[in-house]
């Protein structure tokens, strides 16, 4: 602090001396101008003396002005350097924030890549064939297909058509199998409803609709919502189309994606967990074979 005060007063003293010198030179110039009007030896001597005095003084003034210019340029450059330093500090802070944001994005990217690399459960196609012998009655909706265990089919395997779920293999002989349709009264399929994925179960009614039960009481189910398998039972793969909501009052009904009475060609999918399906006690070998023979 004391050094700054000393420099301040030193600059003021130098400025006063400079003003006095300039004033003296101005007075001397006026005297020389007046004396120059008289042509005599004394005047010539005064002019010579004035030149001897003025020349070093002017040189000093020029040097002082040059020094001031250099100091001013240095101060200006210092101020600009200070501004540039402040700008660079702000830029560094911005880049550090960008690096932190990039680190967060890299972490999220890694998480998303792990999610994308996750392989969800998907059913494996086993065989395709034509559904024949569709039968219906008060308590049964089923059909037969001329494929059996010799073709890799097992009880519990899902059966689909081009538009969605048809049913599941109920009994499998060696060369034929019986298909339980999803509208059979014994059919139960875990599903998800609508964009919110509301969990529920469809039950066959032995008619053209399926009943939707066990949905949460506060679930907002609307007419037109899609219904797909959830895969919760470990048998059906998820996201197989089942139907759409056709009615919500007084009970929720689902219209199947396909007209089950007109199903022709179907595909058999391997159940995700065949050990979870309990086959009936009796084998259908004879029944299936006789049906095939018909």
Same domain? For 247 and 109 the reply is no
- Using the 3D structure, point to which of 84, 116, 148 is the last residue of a domain: 116
User: Rounded to whole angstroms, what are the CA distances from 193 to 189, 258, 267?
Assistant: 12, 17, 24
- Domain of residue 43 covers 2-116
Do both 147 and 78 map to the same domain? no
Q: What angle do CA 181, 184, 189 make, to 5 degrees?
A: 70
Among 97, 116, 135, residue at a domain's last position: 116
Asked if residue 135 has pLDDT above 80, the reply is no
- Same domain, residue pair 177 and 74: no
Tell me the average pLDDT across 34-63: 65
pTM to 2 decimal places: 0.54
Distance CA 113, CA 109 (A): 6
- The per-residue pLDDT for range 84-110, each reduced to its tens digit, is 888 898 989 888 888 888 888 887 777
pLDDT digits (tens, 9 = 90+) for 207-258: 889 999 999 988 899 999 999 999 888 788 888 999 999 999 889 999 999 8
Count of CB atoms situated within 10 Å of the CB of 180:
21
Phi-psi region of 206 (alpha: psi -120 to 50; beta: other; left: phi over 0): left
Task: Count other Cβ atoms within 10 Å, centred on residue 98.
Answer: 10
- Cα distance between residue 179 and residue 256, in whole Å: 16
Claim to verify: residue 206 and residue 61 sit in the same structural domain: no
């Amino acid at each position: 602090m004391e050094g700054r005060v000393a420099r301040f007063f030193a600059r003021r003293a130098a400025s006063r001396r400079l003003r006095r010198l300039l004033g003296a030179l101005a007075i001397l110039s006026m005297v020389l101008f007046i004396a120059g009007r008289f042509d005599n030896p004394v005047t010539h001597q005064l002019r010579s003396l004035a030149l001897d005095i003025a020349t070093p003084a002017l040189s000093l003034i020029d040097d002082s002005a040059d020094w001031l210019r250099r100091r001013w340029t240095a101060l200006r450059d210092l101020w600009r350097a200070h501004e540039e330093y402040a700008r660079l500090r702000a830029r560094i802070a911005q880049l550090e924030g960008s690096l932190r944001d990039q680190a967060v994005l890299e972490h999220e990217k890694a998480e998303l890549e792990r999610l994308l690399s996750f392989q969800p459960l998907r059913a494996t196609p086993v065989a395709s064939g034509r559904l024949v012998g569709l039968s219906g009655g008060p308590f049964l909706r089923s059909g037969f297909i001329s494929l059996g265990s010799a073709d890799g089919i097992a009880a519990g395997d899902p059966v689909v058509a081009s538009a969605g779920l048809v049913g599941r293999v109920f009994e499998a002989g060696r060369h034929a199998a019986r298909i339980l349709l999803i509208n059979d009264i014994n059919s139960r399929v875990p599903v998800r409803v609508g964009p919110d994925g509301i969990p529920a179960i469809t039950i066959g009614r032995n008619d053209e609709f399926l009943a939707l039960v066990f949905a949460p009481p506060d679930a907002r189910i609307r007419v037109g919502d899609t219904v797909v398998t959830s895969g919760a039972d470990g048998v059906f793969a998820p996201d197989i189309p089942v139907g759409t909501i056709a009615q919500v009052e007084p009970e929720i009904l689902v219209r199947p994606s396909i007209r089950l009475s007109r199903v022709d060609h179907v595909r058999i999918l391997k159940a995700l967990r065949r050990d979870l399906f309990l086959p009936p006690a009796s084998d259908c070998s004879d029944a299936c074979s006789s049906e095939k023979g018909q």
